[in-house]
């Protein structure tokens, strides 16, 4: 494999929102700056959600103001769950937004307090303004392999929802194994079906590592032709609405595998370790990345 792969860093949002400790906007900005310095070209930096619901993401506008003072906001993405969040993102002049839905009615209800159908109506309402503002829109689909409340998910439901998001105007769709129950065989079967309604260039994969299957699933997706993968520095995260789900696949481990395959990512792993150390020291967490532990001789 000798092609370019895009790694989307989600630690500053999807990672931190699931950690108990809350760090300041200045600390979040420092982490994001270290990630960008390492060469990560797309970084999810926060979300415009209720600070009561997700206090870890409070003052995302302050983080964006700090990042803007350091340069362009083009590499940065924020999650917006509704029109109020979208308006805040628009005022911050971000160029990339992400929108959430899932194939599980229960999961969507617990996460953003609406049905799947209502979530799509929200997106439909935002899309004209987003496009007029020149924003790139990403759609997240959670629970593609299973739901903590409803169990197994049929691939046909994932295919249908992917097609709907693209028809509504999403530039990309990130397929999320939110509780990390997928296996390579199931991943191949799902992607084979999704590819029939979506171009590979519009698809990303977002794997959690609950059962240690994140890297095998990503390797399978690479073999299927996918070239965009989400990951989290230090394996931060989990899911506040999915009890028992572990963190995202770590960016360090993903890059180690991609480097070993000869894939081009544009990311310097030695510089990335500075972000790893910053996460460890700031959050006082043990490292969850095996390659980072090996590189740092821990």
Residues annotated catalytic, as ranges: 239
Q: Which residues pair with residue 173 across a beta bridge?
A: 139, 203
List of residues 6+ apart from 268 with CB closer than 8 A:
38, 39
Nearest to 79 by CA among 109, 37, 112, 104: 112
Distance CA 142, CA 108 (A): 9
Nearest to 164 by CA among 189, 198, 191, 207: 198
Distance CA 36, CA 173 (A): 23
Distance CA 298, CA 100 (A): 37
The pair phi, psi for residue 207, each rounded to 5°, is -110, 135
End-to-end C-alpha distance for the chain, whole angstroms = 31
Block residue for tokens 């699933």: 217
Tokens describing residue 170: 């999403």
Nearest to 248 by CA among 4, 6, 12, 72: 12
């Amino acid at each position: 494999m000798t092609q370019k792969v895009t790694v989307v860093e989600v630690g500053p949002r999807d990672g931190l929102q699931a950690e108990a400790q809350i760090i300041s906007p200045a600390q979040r900005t420092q982490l994001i700056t270290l990630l960008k310095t390492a060469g990560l070209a797309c970084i999810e930096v926060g979300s415009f959600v209720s600070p009561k619901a997700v206090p870890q993401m409070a003052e995302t506008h302050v983080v964006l103001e700090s990042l803007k003072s350091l340069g362009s906001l083009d590499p940065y993405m924020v999650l917006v769950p509704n029109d109020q969040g979208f308006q805040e993102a628009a005022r911050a002049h971000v160029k990339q937004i992400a929108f959430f839905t899932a194939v599980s009615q229960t999961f969507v209800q617990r996460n953003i307090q609406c049905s799947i159908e209502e979530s799509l109506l929200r997106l439909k309402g935002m899309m004209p303004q987003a496009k007029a503002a020149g924003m790139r829109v990403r759609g997240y689909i959670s629970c593609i392999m299973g739901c903590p409340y409803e169990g197994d998910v049929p691939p046909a439901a994932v295919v249908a929802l992917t097609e709907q998001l693209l028809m509504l105007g999403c530039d990309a769709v990130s397929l999320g194994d939110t509780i990390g129950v997928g296996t390579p065989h199931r991943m191949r079967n799902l992607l084979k079906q999704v590819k029939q309604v979506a171009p590979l260039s519009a698809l990303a994969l977002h794997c959690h590592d609950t059962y240690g299957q994140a890297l095998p699933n990503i390797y399978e997706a690479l073999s299927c032709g996918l070239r965009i993968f989400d990951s989290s520095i230090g394996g931060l995260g989990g899911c506040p609405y999915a009890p028992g789900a572990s963190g995202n696949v770590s960016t360090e481990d993903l890059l180690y595998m991609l480097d070993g395959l000869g894939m081009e990512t544009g990311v310097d792993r030695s510089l990335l370790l500075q972000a790893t150390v910053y996460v460890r020291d700031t959050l006082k967490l043990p490292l969850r990345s095996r390659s980072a532990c090996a590189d740092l001789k821990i």
